[in-house]
Structure 1
Amino acid sequence: MRIHIRYLQRRCQYLRLGSLALSCEQVGGDQLMSSGFAVGHLVEFRGGPGIGRVGAITDGSLRVDFFESTAEPTIESQTVPASACRRVRLAAQTRTFRHNPSTGEWMAGRILATAPGGYFVRFPNADYDMPVPETELRVRWNKPVRNPLEVLVSGGNESGHLYNARLPMVHNLIAQRAASASTPALLAAAAEIYPHQVRAALTVLSDPVQRYLLADEVGLGKTIEASYVALQTLIDNPQARVTFLVPDALRRQWVTELRTKFFTDDFPRRIKIISHHSPDLWEQYHGSDLVVVDEAHQLVQDRDDTDPIYRALRDLAHSASRLLLLSATPVTSSHTTHLGLLHLLDPDVYKWSEREEFARRYQHRAELANHVLSLDAEFHPLLPSTIEMIKELLPPEDSRFTHLAADVLELLDEYEGLRDEARMPDLEARVTALRAHISETYRLHRRVIRNRRSNVLRQNDDSAAVPYEVRGRAEPEKLTAQSYSPAADSLLAWQTQLWGHLLDEGLENRRIDYALALAVLASRLGGSSADYLDALRWRVRRDQGAAERAGLNARERKYLSSVPVAPHEAATLENLESASAGEGAREVDELIDALLPALRKGGRIAVFCGPGSLASTLTARLRSRFPKVSFFEHTRGAGPDASETATSSWRKPVVSAAVLIADDSAEDGLNLQAARSVVHVRLPWSPNQLEQRLGRTDRYVESNEQRQAPRQYVLTDAEAHSDEWLSLLTGGYRIFDGSVSTLQDAIAEGLAVVWAQALEHGPEGLPGFAEAVQEQLDRARREIDSMDTLESIFDTSPHDIDFAERLATFDADWAATRNDLLGYTGRDSSDGIKLRHTVRKIDDVMCEVFDLKSRPLISPHLYDRANLTKEMARGTCSRSQALKAPGTRLFRIGNRLVDTLASVVWCDDRGQATAFWRAEVAHRGEPEPYFGFDYLVEADISSALTLTLPLVQQSRDAESALRRQAERLLPPFTLKVWVPAGASEALADGDIRRWLQAPYRATDHNYNSKNIHELMNLFDGQARYAASARGAEAVARAELKRVTNLADRCAVAQEQGRQRLSVARAQAEARQAAGRLLGEKENYLLDVAITDALVQGLSNPTVRLVAATCLVKQGLRRIPRSD
């Protein structure tokens, strides 16, 4: 019977609503356009701030009014062409507000279904759905709620259950902002938090001008730093175009890293990864928002501004809004290389037309670096003279140098000794500060970030962050070839006869030229004669096909062909061709027999064969002989896609053995630190190339099993060059002891002389040169140390160190983040928006899985479900869990689902205001109302932004960068203030405040539409209630500094800012004066003015209300439950 009555009621409402709609069209006929728009229609348009209401129609245009709250029903209006607008059909669950034209009252409800001319709307505490004409409905625009107080005083308050769900989520979102300095990529990326990587990324992202050279030493994670920047660029602007220019062999690795750690596939079609080898296509990517150039030195070395490839790179770089160049180029490398890189960053300051002036500045800096290296507290008698020599090189305007130098000398007596031995730690600290000042002030370019291994690997036992570790290297074990090698004998004969020919012809002075031909031929020996034969064919016959099969690059072809062929060489080639005919299979089988001791060790094994065809031949034969063992091939012949697939399969967990066999395509940039053993079938002729190869496994530690260096094996022949070359590599270059990447220029410079020893004296000449090599590299190392004193990053800024700690500390309490997230979405029938959720094990990780098909209590236009995928809705709140399974997302800001929910939190008015009464057993007398206000406090960046806007193309970019700078000093935070109604002071800490702070609970009673009159009666009407609430909020703001720690926080932040500012100002003035050391055109003083404006804003931060509460305290009373 009840169902039948409800049906009749609804039919009557349909009929009444239909007549209302018809009447509206008849009355407003002159306002109805032929396009179908009428006053009162709900519409939206591209670029608009959400759903609006047609307020007027004139001359083919609509005035669209936007609704903020019942207190501010028309917050903004925009006039747009009618052709740009479209009608909006409100979906079920849309939050809406009805304005009753008869009474003028507002009431909030939610859409249940469409009806003729309007919608069925469910209002709170109603037991039926009311039909309402579209003209009486309003929908909030898509901007954050401007003032929750207005929602409260207008009666728009909702149940405290919504407040309970929303406010912890608000606090957590703000805490994430504070931890990351509004850089969500640092939290959302599934990468371990390492201070040097975070600091580098944040330095870039905090700069309004984001054009940087990331020059960390090999293995420190430049890829991670660049990926942080790329992800944040997309988070800030999901429509941004991001282009990566990378070596072809690394394209798939970049794709994998970006997708599985940084989830860039959440931004489809916005990232393009293109190859170094296709400069003719680069023009298509001009105008990108961000360009990242990996291994940038490969495109710049040995080139100038006339080279077509460099010019194509230049045009691409200069067209981009942001630019990151990734290169481990040593600081001592050619000034031309540095100029080529810096010109890409800043063509106005670093011009090719001024290369001679740049070379002079480069030389002056080298002189300064040599003196700065002598600044050592251990040798304090030398400090006065060293400081005096440095002073002569610096401009007299460098007042900070003068001040810091005086601080050092103050601790020394007239005999240049330490006045008090107990002050040695003070002297060390002051010398470090002086060196840091010189480094930060006189670096070649302020937008170069260079971290050194020695600094990064230094552990801080007090840090909450995970220490950065690399696998390291082990002394190699020899695998001796037992069989006869005609190719090895052939090379010995070639070398002996060639040296004799040079002596006979009086050409011994050209031994350097011929030496590098010997080096290239020697690198093709080992395992099979085929590649050596092909290299010799290129030299003697200029056989192009042979050169390609041997994997000869352009430089190697030049070394082999640039010196005349000696008379004996053709016969040597023919003899070897005859001797090796039909021996290929035997040679490969004997090679396998020699490798078996290493292969039987099991686990993941990486076998490096060097350039040429050997890797493919060896893979095929191993698969034939051992079909049950997993062999994977990474070669140029297999191609980049198949090679990357093979490498990914090789990285998967193994039971017995997984062997990756590679040519030189795997020696640059590839991450192979999962290898337990490394086998070198052939050694490169250049230690620099071997350094690149060793760097594939000597990388950051990803798991406990990688904390031990991989075993190293080298195939050698005691009667050939390989054994003696290995001896020099271990004893002279010491390349298996540690990285020599910073010495690559010195190594390259002396390499021809080294191989000249082998040409003149045979293989035995190589080990005897070890001492000379050591001396040369030691000299180079000292020079590099001195230059690095100027170019490396000094960790002298306390807030930088604290920032990494902030991230790590926040991350450690991931359970709180999970609790707040699930509390908001709704868990175990708790309050929340009812977004269904389950827990499921995926790839051995317990993941939260949100059901995007559920219909949460969110207005659909705020819940961007169309752009959410099921992958975005699966993940974990624990970083350690996410790192176990690549591709597992982290639920933090920066995740697309979390960001969608965050937008709802700020834009949905539900939960922003609540009013309820709470019983207190001991209370006697009249009810006591209190007003509670939750505030968000953040730094004011408006003045700094005004100064910055002329420097950038997009104001949004500048605002984001400055916000990060400010939040490193003053992180955003929330404060809550309670004010008794009618009082002139806020409550300080005490029992009553703690009682008020308790969350809304089941025994509390919400003021809803049925009993709101009780609340109004306490204040003698709505007007006085509103006046009392507004008065209380004014008191709360005035009392913020007295009853909270706001003043202390601002004072600490401003003091840190002033310290930073004083250093920046002194450095800027010194750089402006240091024309012969640096360029004179970089506007450092403007940067200082911007920093000054930021620091001033710290003392008077912006305070924004984010939630308002009215809580009435009263005694026990009997009341029927209705809410």
Structure 2
Amino acid sequence: MSSGFTVGRLVTFTGAPGIGRVGAVDGGTLRVDFFESVAEPEIESHTVPATACQQVRLKPQTRVFRHNPSTGEWLAGRITNHVGGQYFVQFPNVEYHFPVPEWELRVRWDKPVRDPLQVLASGGNESGFLYNARIPMLRNLVAQRAVSANTPALLATAAEIYPHQVRAALTVLSDPVQRYLLADEVGLGKTIQAGYVILQTLIDNPQARVVIVAPDSLRRQWQAELRTKFFTDDFPTRVRITSHESPEKWKQYDESDLVVVDEAHLLVQDRDDTDPTYRALCGLAHSASKLLLLSATPVTSSHTTHLGLLHLLDPDVYKWSEREAFEQRYNHRAELANHLYSLSADFHVLLPSSIEMVKGLLPQEDTRFDDLAARVLELLDSEGNLRDETDMQELSARVTELRAHISETYRLHRRVIRHRRAGVLGDDDDSALFLYEVRGRTEPTPLAVESYDPAADSLVEWQTQLWGYLLDEGLEGSRSAYALALAVLASRLGGTSADYLDALRWRVRRDEDAALRAGLGPREQRHLTAPPVVPHEAKILEGLEEQITDAHHVTELNELVDALLPALRKGPRVIVFCGPGALAARLTERLSARFPKVAFLEHTRRTGTEKSELAIRKWREHPAQSAVLIADDTAEDGLNLQAASTVIHVRLPWSPNQLEQRLGRTDRYVESSQQRQPPAQFVLTDAEGHSGAWLSLLVNGYGIFADSVSTLQDAIAQGLAGIWAEALEHGPEGLTEAADTVQAQLADARAEIDQMDMLESIFDTSPEGNRFTEQLGEFEANWGHAREAMLGYTGRDGSSGIQIRHSEPSTHRDAFEITPKTLISPHLYDREKLTEEMARGTFNRNAALKAPGTRLFRIGNPLVDTLANVVWYDDRGQATAFWRADPNHRGDPEPYFGFDYLVEADTAPALELALKLPHAQKRTQVEAALRRQADQLLPPFTLKVWVPAGDTQALTDEALRAWLDAPYSATDHNYNSKRIHELLNLFDGPTGYDVSARAAEQVARAELERVTNLADRCAQAQQQGRERLTVARAQAEARQAAGRLLDDAESYLLDVDVTATLVQGLNHPKVRLVSATCVLKTGLRRIRRGD
């Protein structure tokens, strides 16, 4: 039975390494041969069923090689047309298009050029102009890989470069097991860190399934960030964003390549492994190849919260069935943290006793602790005083090193990354380039409504009568429950009385519609209904309902607007926080009616998520002098609203933790110089009532308008019922008088947190992390080099690049267009997927930051990556031969061979070991992670070596090397197919040329260490790797011995073995030939016209 194919047909099939040629037909089976170069025309063959193959029609500009059956010669050209079953090919230096039958053509397979030397030795060289275009582009691509440790996401993301964010992302992406908890404090950019990981996951595998689980209110912000900073829409698969509120949908995302859970603590707190939502999250997390949990959970949170999070990361080590043992380990760490806190150079007299106490908690096998402790103690005398010659700075450095060892060794889980504001905001004080700033906070200005507020008086009456009733009935023990009811009711005061009335209706009558209108969440509803209703409450409610009419609500709104006007006029970007309930919607309507020319934008449950997100976008981009965003509680979690210049709080939440979330919307990283000052704060308040007293306590007790209290949220929550109980017993004065109590509680909590945080935070005293970020900064400062290399390769100003059309629509903006004349084989890129938007952008990071949504032309950008593939896969520019005249040269022509090499660390030996790591599921993921580790130690680089033909040593004459390195120009003369015999004759024919070229390349490799700095680079990388390895091995062995503290030592030791194998191979890097050149140095020659 005929297969329908004949020998010579060009075909492809699923999984084929490119376009192949049918080499033989055996019934229904084909042998498909693949072409590497004219030196290796059949590099690989596949036997496949004919039914699995599809015939290929070559498109114009496809690079082909014609094998002349008469002469046996090979000639490269490009397809111009296909007519009547044969192709028309444009060959070099031929004016017409030559008809060629398909069976005489070959197409190079889609793999990097294996050996440019073979191409050169076989006479397959091309014009030196192609070398001029390719090699600078290749070197710049290697430089980008080196500066980013093979992590293009760091370069392609349109975001500021900050050390703590880069370190976190690189730590995750360099780990063969990418399951991490990112636990930075609020406002430090966990979303950016996660975005780097998301983008790199898609770059490594464009078909990857990526899922983000986020609160519904944050889904569109995630979409905007991914679209405008990380450009994830450029990939064929969409990043899916599902909500916390829809766990029933999570099952469909099982087996994802990456799962990111934002605000993960919200799905873990107050839950255990029996909770259906948590169980659904476990199913999703445990099935994923990679997992990122984002949570600002304090280090002092309950052990069950930590167990819940760590179980998501590693269910085999952190088991719910062993929660008691986990609690013991958790508590033991607290004791260690307490003693670690006392290790301070400032109190050097106490250091000997502190070291002794810490040593008693650690396993005897921790010899590195002993060594580091001894280094500290040798600077002190027997009484703990500094020795005479001791430098205080040296003592401080050694104590820091000792504390760092304890922190990195005994953290609860080594795949938890936690940065604190205090550490990050002080990072790189000497480098303005990396200064991470947040807007900060300022004490609020009170705003008052002068008229009578019946709701505020009603609450005072409610509280006074309630406390009297509890005293009369001997129910003082129930005051905490009633106190929380008071707190919720107080949070609905201010602006209008409608929400307060509805909250009271829910408490007294269980009116569900009223609860909905008042925006009462499940917890607030419980607080209002938990304590029994007492007799006077119904009467208070009825009296208030009689007093407050619809007309009164209108009056209240008008008076509220009048009170807000001084703050609203501050502009230009104003946020009005109204808290939960109907107030925000009613206020928007009233303001819009009174001031129709002002942009009042609403972010509420009533408008819905989509319209609310649109409102934020309009508020940010509004061209008018003033834009006002009016929001209920839907805008208080996760949103980036740091563009605000004025913040107005019509109501304050009853919990400082919720207010912290609200303030965190504007107290975020600085995006522009205009944001270096904190926004002005205003609070609507009744100075004599509960709202005024609560504001006073928030300012003077909690200090929440001065600094973030995010790390104190557990301590605040534990003491909150007691604080509101003071208000229940003593009225508003009970709140103002609690300031000292609150300050003392928070001071104790801070001390405990500082102790534990010293153990759990990332403690990196090595300079490598910041040095890496500085290298990124240097690359960005020299962005023009990347632009020049790419414009040279694409063919700017009519040069002999690959002829991609280039334009400059505006300053620092570039646009590229692949046209029918572009010299790229169409099968090397997908024109439909390479959209116009992907080919428009900038090389200047600052320009991209000023225009959100502007792409950066770096590796990781689809256009740049397409060109990078062409650089590696297209053979043009990889082999060059020409003669160059030197007016001063006398005597016979002198041939020289030049070799460009790529040097990189060899990861192959470590790969097989790394695949044995627990949770190391995918070979490609592990391979990429190891490559990033290796590139941090030994960044890849290029070298060029020249060897005189027939010599046994590489060329060291700097002047001659510079002459040979000069770019190919119009005065040089390419040895094309018509002239190549002139060159071959100098070597007594093709065989002699081949032998001489190969001998020269062997000399070049042997001479690499002598004529370049290869040996020094490798030795330095290996030394740095061994230093890291010594520390890591000591920590791993200490963790293994500290079983009562930790439980993941076995995998840590295997990690160390992987690193050891990687480091061992650094002195034997891979040296890959990427280009071969032959230059014939001659004196001046008479040239025939047309040469």
Q: Secondary structure at the match of 1:858?
A: coil
CA distance in 2, matches of 1:240, 1:426: 49
CA distance in 2, matches of 1:695, 1:488: 28
Which residue type is aligned with residue 821 of structure 1? M
Give the superposition deviation at 1:56: 1.5
Give the superposition deviation at 1:855: 3.2
State which of 1091, 1096, 1101 in structure 1 corresponds to 2:1069.
1101
Task: Please tell me whether the aligned partners of residues 648 and 682 of structure 2 are also in contact (alpha carbons under 8 angstroms).
Answer: yes
- Per the alignment, residue 778 of structure 1 pairs with 747
Query: Kindly tell me: are residues 144 and 1121 of structure 1, through their superposed partners in 2, closer, same or farther at Cα, counting changes over 3 Å?
Result: farther
Asked whether 1:390 is paired with 2:372, we answer no
State which of 512, 525, 536 in structure 1 corresponds to 2:504.
536
Asked whether 1:938 is paired with 2:904, we answer yes
| Structure-to-structure mapping, 1:496-511, within 5 angstroms | 496-511=464-479
- Per the alignment, residue 677 of structure 1 pairs with 646
- Per the alignment, residue 805 of structure 1 pairs with 774
Which residue type is aligned with residue 1044 of structure 2? R
- Per the alignment, residue 345 of structure 1 pairs with 313
Which residue type is aligned with residue 752 of structure 2? E
Give the superposition deviation at 1:136: 1.1
State which of 210, 215, 223 in structure 1 corresponds to 2:183.
215
Q: Secondary structure at the match of 2:798?
A: coil
How much identity, in percent, do the aligned residues show? Answer: 72
CA distance in 2, matches of 1:46, 1:666: 49
Task: Please tell me whether the aligned partners of residues 207 and 237 of structure 2 are also in contact (alpha carbons under 8 angstroms).
Answer: no
Over residues 434-473 of structure 1, what are the superposed CA-to-partner deviations in whole Å (9 max), with x where a residue is unaligned?
1100010000001000011111111424447421100000
Q: Secondary structure at the match of 1:283?
A: helix
Give the superposition deviation at 1:377: 0.2
State which of 231, 241, 259 in structure 2 corresponds to 1:273.
241
CA distance in 1, matches of 2:283, 2:518: 35
Task: Please tell me whether the aligned partners of residues 182 and 190 of structure 2 are also in contact (alpha carbons under 8 angstroms).
Answer: yes
CA distance in 1, matches of 2:318, 2:277: 19
Asked whether 1:255 is paired with 2:223, we answer yes
CA distance in 2, matches of 1:268, 1:1105: 33
- Per the alignment, residue 763 of structure 1 pairs with 732
Give the superposition deviation at 1:989: 4.6
Give the superposition deviation at 1:112: 1.4
Asked whether 1:1079 is paired with 2:1043, we answer no
Which residue type is aligned with residue 809 of structure 2? R
- Per the alignment, residue 91 of structure 2 pairs with 123
Q: Secondary structure at the match of 1:315?
A: helix
- Per the alignment, residue 832 of structure 2 pairs with 866
Q: Secondary structure at the match of 1:995?
A: helix
- Per the alignment, residue 583 of structure 2 pairs with 614
- Per the alignment, residue 691 of structure 1 pairs with 660
Task: Please tell me whether the aligned partners of residues 43 and 52 of structure 1 are also in contact (alpha carbons under 8 angstroms).
Answer: yes
Asked whether 1:102 is paired with 2:70, we answer yes
Q: Secondary structure at the match of 1:446?
A: coil
Which residue type is aligned with residue 689 of structure 1? Q
| Structure-to-structure mapping, 1:346-495, within 5 angstroms | 346-420=314-388, 422-463=390-431, 465-495=433-463
Q: Secondary structure at the match of 2:934?
A: helix
CA distance in 2, matches of 1:580, 1:512: 30
Asked whether 1:238 is paired with 2:238, we answer no
Q: Secondary structure at the match of 1:226?
A: helix
Which residue type is aligned with residue 770 of structure 2? I
Task: Please tell me whether the aligned partners of residues 935 and 975 of structure 1 are also in contact (alpha carbons under 8 angstroms).
Answer: yes
| Structure-to-structure mapping, 1:638-657, within 5 angstroms | 638-657=607-626
- Per the alignment, residue 871 of structure 2 pairs with 905
| Structure-to-structure mapping, 1:822-901, within 5 angstroms | 822-841=791-810, 846-901=812-867
Task: Please tell me whether the aligned partners of residues 899 and 1004 of structure 2 are also in contact (alpha carbons under 8 angstroms).
Answer: yes
Task: Please tell me whether the aligned partners of residues 206 and 237 of structure 2 are also in contact (alpha carbons under 8 angstroms).
Answer: no
- Per the alignment, residue 994 of structure 1 pairs with 962
- 170-179 or 997-1006: which moved more? 997-1006
Asked whether 1:63 is paired with 2:21, we answer no
Asked whether 1:1026 is paired with 2:994, we answer yes
Over residues 140-199 of structure 1, what are the superposed CA-to-partner deviations in whole Å (9 max), with x where a residue is unaligned?
000000011111111111111110000000000000000100000000010111110011
- 794-803 or 338-347: which moved more? 794-803
- Per the alignment, residue 26 of structure 1 pairs with none
Query: Kindly tell me: are residues 853 and 485 of structure 1, through their superposed partners in 2, closer, same or farther at Cα, counting changes over 3 Å?
Result: farther
Query: Kindly tell me: are residues 39 and 410 of structure 1, through their superposed partners in 2, closer, same or farther at Cα, counting changes over 3 Å?
Result: same
State which of 712, 728, 733 in structure 2 corresponds to 1:743.
712
Which residue type is aligned with residue 1107 of structure 1? S
Q: Secondary structure at the match of 1:783?
A: helix
CA distance in 1, matches of 2:475, 2:189: 48
Which residue type is aligned with residue 203 of structure 2? I
CA distance in 2, matches of 1:644, 1:219: 20
Which residue type is aligned with residue 856 of structure 2? L
- Per the alignment, residue 51 of structure 1 pairs with 19
CA distance in 2, matches of 1:954, 1:801: 30
Q: Secondary structure at the match of 2:17?
A: coil
Give the superposition deviation at 1:533: 0.5
- 553-562 or 646-655: which moved more? 646-655
Query: Kindly tell me: are residues 661 and 726 of structure 1, through their superposed partners in 2, closer, same or farther at Cα, counting changes over 3 Å?
Result: same
Asked whether 1:229 is paired with 2:197, we answer yes
CA distance in 2, matches of 1:292, 1:61: 46
Q: Secondary structure at the match of 2:828?
A: coil
Aligned pairs, number = 1088
Task: Please tell me whether the aligned partners of residues 349 and 1081 of structure 1 are also in contact (alpha carbons under 8 angstroms).
Answer: no
- 107-116 or 87-96: which moved more? 107-116
Task: Please tell me whether the aligned partners of residues 2 and 28 of structure 2 are also in contact (alpha carbons under 8 angstroms).
Answer: no
Show structure 2 runs of 5+ residues with no match: none
Q: Secondary structure at the match of 1:89?
A: coil
State which of 916, 925, 933 in structure 2 corresponds to 1:965.
933
Q: Secondary structure at the match of 2:175?
A: coil
Task: Please tell me whether the aligned partners of residues 945 and 955 of structure 2 are also in contact (alpha carbons under 8 angstroms).
Answer: yes
Give the superposition deviation at 1:851: 1.7
Query: Kindly tell me: are residues 906 and 1046 of structure 1, through their superposed partners in 2, closer, same or farther at Cα, counting changes over 3 Å?
Result: same
CA distance in 2, matches of 1:662, 1:295: 21
CA distance in 1, matches of 2:392, 2:762: 24
Give the superposition deviation at 1:544: 0.7
CA distance in 2, matches of 1:942, 1:428: 41
Asked whether 1:586 is paired with 2:586, we answer no
Task: Please tell me whether the aligned partners of residues 93 and 111 of structure 1 are also in contact (alpha carbons under 8 angstroms).
Answer: yes
- Per the alignment, residue 51 of structure 2 pairs with 83
Which residue type is aligned with residue 318 of structure 1? H
- 979-988 or 648-657: which moved more? 648-657
Q: Secondary structure at the match of 1:451?
A: coil
Over residues 42-80 of structure 1, what are the superposed CA-to-partner deviations in whole Å (9 max), with x where a residue is unaligned?
101111110011112224221111100011111111112
| Structure-to-structure mapping, 1:1006-1085, within 5 angstroms | 1006-1079=974-1047, 1082-1085=1050-1053
Task: Please tell me whether the aligned partners of residues 444 and 1078 of structure 1 are also in contact (alpha carbons under 8 angstroms).
Answer: yes
Task: Please tell me whether the aligned partners of residues 153 and 199 of structure 2 are also in contact (alpha carbons under 8 angstroms).
Answer: yes
Give the superposition deviation at 1:1003: 0.9
- Per the alignment, residue 330 of structure 1 pairs with 298
Query: Kindly tell me: are residues 484 and 383 of structure 1, through their superposed partners in 2, closer, same or farther at Cα, counting changes over 3 Å?
Result: same
Task: Please tell me whether the aligned partners of residues 864 and 900 of structure 1 are also in contact (alpha carbons under 8 angstroms).
Answer: no
State which of 885, 889, 892 in structure 2 corresponds to 1:919.
885
Show structure 1 runs of 5+ residues with no match: 1-32
CA distance in 1, matches of 2:698, 2:232: 42
Which residue type is aligned with residue 489 of structure 1? D
Over residues 314-372 of structure 1, what are the superposed CA-to-partner deviations in whole Å (9 max), with x where a residue is unaligned?
11111111100000000000100000000000000000000000000000000000000
Give the superposition deviation at 1:403: 0.5
State which of 600, 604, 607 in structure 1 corresponds to 2:573.
604
Give the superposition deviation at 1:653: 4.8
Task: Please tell me whether the aligned partners of residues 206 and 236 of structure 2 are also in contact (alpha carbons under 8 angstroms).
Answer: no
Over residues 1017-1041 of structure 1, what are the superposed CA-to-partner deviations in whole Å (9 max), with x where a residue is unaligned?
1111111011101100000000000
Which residue type is aligned with residue 47 of structure 1? G
The TM-score, its normalising length taken from structure 1, stands at 0.96
Task: Please tell me whether the aligned partners of residues 1036 and 1049 of structure 2 are also in contact (alpha carbons under 8 angstroms).
Answer: no
Query: Kindly tell me: are residues 615 and 421 of structure 1, through their superposed partners in 2, closer, same or farther at Cα, counting changes over 3 Å?
Result: farther
CA distance in 2, matches of 1:688, 1:462: 34
CA distance in 1, matches of 2:634, 2:581: 10
